Structures are given as structure tokens and as C-alpha cells.
Amino acid sequence: MSHDRRLRATFDKAAALYQDARPDYPAELYSDLLAITGIEPPAHLLEVGTGPGKATLPLARMGFRITAVELGDALATQARHRLAEFADVSVITSSFESWEPPTDVLFDLVYAATAWKWVDPEVKYSKAAALLRQGGHLGVWNAGHAFPHDFDPFFTEIQQVYDEIGEGDGEPWPPLTPENQPDPTATELKTSGHFTAVETRRYVWARRYTADQYIALLDTFSGHIAMEPAKREHLYREIRRRLAARPDGRLIRHWSAALTIGQRL
């Protein structure tokens, strides 16, 4: 599936599905984020690519002040609705690249959850550094499909369907196990000239999905949103058919999140 940065606008079409279909990030991730950076409420945080507030809500509940920047109108509306009770949280509809904060406002932490790869690489590190206090931190994490040694064989079967419809990524199968996955963000931090890489931690967990639940999840992914309707319909028929043949009608999908933290130079 393509990671073409132009696809970042497709997520707004899935605004109503995103919060429920995507998994929550592990509680341990937030604990590690606070422990490594040393931030405490009411520190002022900047979130890049807020979506419907998936990663905003846990930090808002801790008492942090948060400025959340979201490109999509519908996603920003969802976030405002979910975060309405938090007076110290504001949601701004804008791309991170074009957003200009109030004069003399600096942040203790800039963070992005499953959004950093969509930001212009020529801008993101320099702009994040410019918006941080001296010694402030950048925290980046994601949530992607993980393939431990015991991953569900359903995914080998369905990968053949992706290949048949021309939507395979051309990469070797199976993908690398979570512990062997590279961390491009740590490399980018080191070469940015604006940050030093502090630490990377990885989290792996699993969730069970019915066909309807799994298709709802796929409908929040940019490549599936942008897929030609006939291809998408064929893929979803195959998912339903193959899961209907299982006694419980479910699959197990593993998730992996890599939290990478850098400190402003």
C-alpha cells in the first residue's frame, strides 16, 4: 500500500469510524512517555495530527494543557466533541506545516500518534524544534500491523488477494517480526540536526475481530479508502468468505507501536 503523502487527506472520510475502529494505545506507552520526558501536568503539549482525539484524551484526563492541530475538518470536529469537557485543550483545523502559533508560545512536548510520517520531512523536525522550550522533547509513536512468529495465517491467505488485485506492496512475505522492525524515526532524529534520540520502546498486543469489525478497521486506512471500489468490494467479499469458514468467524490481528523520543538540542 502506498504511503504517498497526498493520501493524508483521505482520513477525514473515515472520521466517524476512526475512534471506535482503531485500537487504543497501550497505557504503558503513556507511562513511559511521561517517565522518559519528565513532563508533568499542567505542562503545555502540542499534538500533531490529532485525528478524533485518540491520543489526546488520555493526556487531557491527566491534566495537561494541549494544543491539538488536525488537518481534516471532520476529524477536528470529532476531536472537539470528545474533548469538550477539557477547558485547557484546544483543537485547531490546520496542517502542521502551515500552522502558526501565537507569538512567544513554546511547548514542553510536541507529540504525534500515527501521524508523523504524513508530515513534510523538509519541515517537521525544524518546526517541532522551533516550537519547543530549551530541552523540550519530541515524542512520536504509531500503531501498525505486527507479525510475530505466531501471527494468524489468515493474513498469508488474504495477502494473496491483495496481490491478485494489484494492491500488494511488493515486499517479502512474511514481514519482519516486531523486534526486528527498523525504527526510521530514530534515524531521522539523529540526522535532523535538531534533536538527539533519547529512547525507543516497542509495544505489541493483539485484538480479535469479526469480519464487520475488521472491515470497519480497514475503512480507516488511507490505502483502502483510496482503493478502486471494485477492488475493495472484491477484497471485502474474500475477507467475509474466509472468516465465515472459521468456527468462531474471527481473526486475530497483532499490533505494534514504537514510541521514539528525542530531545531538542
pLDDT at 56: 98
How do residues 221-257 score in pLDDT, each as one tens digit?
989 999 999 999 999 999 999 999 999 999 999 999 9
What does the alpha-carbon distance between residue 189 and residue 66 come to, in Å, rounded to a whole number? 23
How do residues 128-187 score in pLDDT, each as one tens digit?
999 999 999 999 999 999 999 999 999 999 999 999 999 998 899 999 999 999 999 999
How do residues 72-128 score in pLDDT, each as one tens digit?
999 999 999 999 999 999 999 999 999 999 899 999 999 999 999 999 999 999 999
Phi then psi dihedrals of residue 67, to 5 deg: -105, 120
119-158 in b/e form (b: 16+ CB < 10 A) is: beeeebbebbbebbeeebbbbbbbbeebbeeebbebbeeb
The domain ranges of the chain are: 5-264
CA distances from 77 to 50, 66, 81, 85, 109 (A): 11, 16, 6, 14, 23
CATH fold group of domain 5-264: Rossmann fold (3.40.50)
Q: Is the pTM of this model over 0.95?
A: no
